[in-house]
């Protein structure tokens, strides 16, 4: 059984090329659309697996044509799916990615099995070195109560608990305070990976240093704040380091944060220190944005071998 387990959403991303909207009742021919693997959990798991870490993805996935396609894609990357239960009563999650002529994107989403997500009992009964929760806020009724119960059980069993949060930037009418809602889970987490907006929301602070200090005060051992094209900031053992990202032409930023986290976890599983893990994360995040699709760029095995060799992994 793998020592790294990941939970999180898994969905099919359907990319529709730029086109003029057809008239009512009309049809518009388009270039070939693409179906890509997507979702925080799936992206993170694929990145870690491609970097050589034995990885399991746990949860539920709708058993329809999209779900079977996703399952085949994940298995092709060697990910253990023995704890990813099929659901015949709902479809797999699907996101329709619409691109207009000006390069702007809009999204249409079907939640499917993410909305019916459950933690398999066996996932809590297995011994893990690291257990990563990727955006558990998106997993239907699992958030927040069952998520906190699962985290408590995993910590009691000795797993290192890793968390990548999700807080939407625009949430009109939001009833819960993000800082209050996340405090119990952050108090259990050993590693956390918010972006700057999310870090501000879950800490109630507006300064990067204050955000990191607040996370440390909550008990987080390794706090990482993802900063997009500015790299990342990482805090551990009383140290704070800024890691710059290489400047490249970004084609598609979707999934860059997941690639960062998957690479960081791969470094952690291979004994790298947090600074080295964050540097590896920045490399994979930068690689990701140079091609369309969340895990397209990391399919270049030769490029990954160069990166792994440079970081002393392999």
Residue with tokens 């392999």: 314
Q: Above 50 in pLDDT, residue 212?
A: yes
- The per-residue pLDDT for 114 is 94
Question: What are the domain boundaries of the chain?
Answer: 4-11+38-94+111-310
Domain 4-11+38-94+111-310: CATH architecture, name and number where available:
3-Layer(aba) Sandwich (3.40)
What are the tens digits of pLDDT across the range 143-189?
Answer: 999 999 999 999 999 999 999 999 987 654 455 799 999 999 999 99
Cα of first residue to Cα of last residue in the chain, in angstroms, is 20
pLDDT at residue 101 is higher than 70: no
**Rounded CA gap, 13 and 288, in Å?**
16
Please, which pLDDT band fits residue 103 given cuts at 50, 70 and 90?
Answer: low
**Nearest CA-CA partner of 133 in 153, 113, 161:** 161
pLDDT tens for 49-65 read 999 999 999 999 999 99
Most confident of 1-5, 19-23, 119-123: 119-123
Q: What percent of the chain has pLDDT over 90?
A: 79
Residue with tokens 């518009």: 28
- pLDDT at site 102: 65
């Amino acid at each position: 059984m793998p020592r790294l387990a990941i939970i999180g959403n898994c969905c099919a991303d359907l990319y529709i090329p730029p086109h003029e909207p057809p008239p009512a009742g009309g049809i518009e021919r388009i270039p070939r659309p693409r179906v890509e693997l997507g979702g925080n959990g799936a992206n993170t798991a694929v990145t870690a697996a491609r970097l050589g870490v034995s990885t399991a993805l746990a949860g539920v996935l709708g058993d329809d044509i999209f779900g079977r396609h996703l399952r085949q894609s994940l298995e092709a990357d060697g990910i253990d799916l023995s704890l990813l239960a099929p659901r015949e009563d709902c479809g797999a999650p699907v996101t329709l990615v619409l691109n207009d002529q000006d390069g702007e994107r809009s999204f249409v989403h079907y939640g499917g099995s993410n909305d019916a997500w459950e933690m398999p009992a066996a996932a809590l009964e297995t011994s893990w070195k690291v257990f990563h929760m990727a955006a558990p806020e998106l997993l239907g009724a699992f958030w927040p109560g069952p998520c906190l119960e699962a985290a408590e059980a995993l910590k009691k069993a000795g797993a290192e608990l890793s968390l990548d949060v999700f807080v939407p930037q625009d949430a009109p009418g939001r009833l819960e305070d993000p800082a209050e809602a996340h405090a119990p889970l952050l108090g259990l987490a050993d590693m956390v990976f918010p972006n700057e907006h999310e870090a501000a929301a879950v800490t109630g602070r507006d300064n990067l240093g204050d955000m990191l200090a607040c996370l440390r005060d909550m008990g987080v051992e390794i706090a990482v704040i993802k900063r997009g094209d500015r790299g990342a900031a990482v805090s551990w053992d009383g140290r704070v380091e800024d890691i710059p990202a290489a400047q490249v032409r970004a084609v598609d930023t979707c999934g860059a944060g997941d690639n960062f986290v998957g690479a960081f976890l791969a470094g952690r599983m291979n004994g790298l220190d947090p600074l080295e893990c964050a540097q590896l994360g920045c490399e994979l995040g930068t690689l990701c944005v140079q091609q369309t699709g969340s895990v397209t760029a990391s399919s270049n095995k030769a490029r990954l071998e160069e990166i792994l060799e440079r970081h002393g992994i392999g």
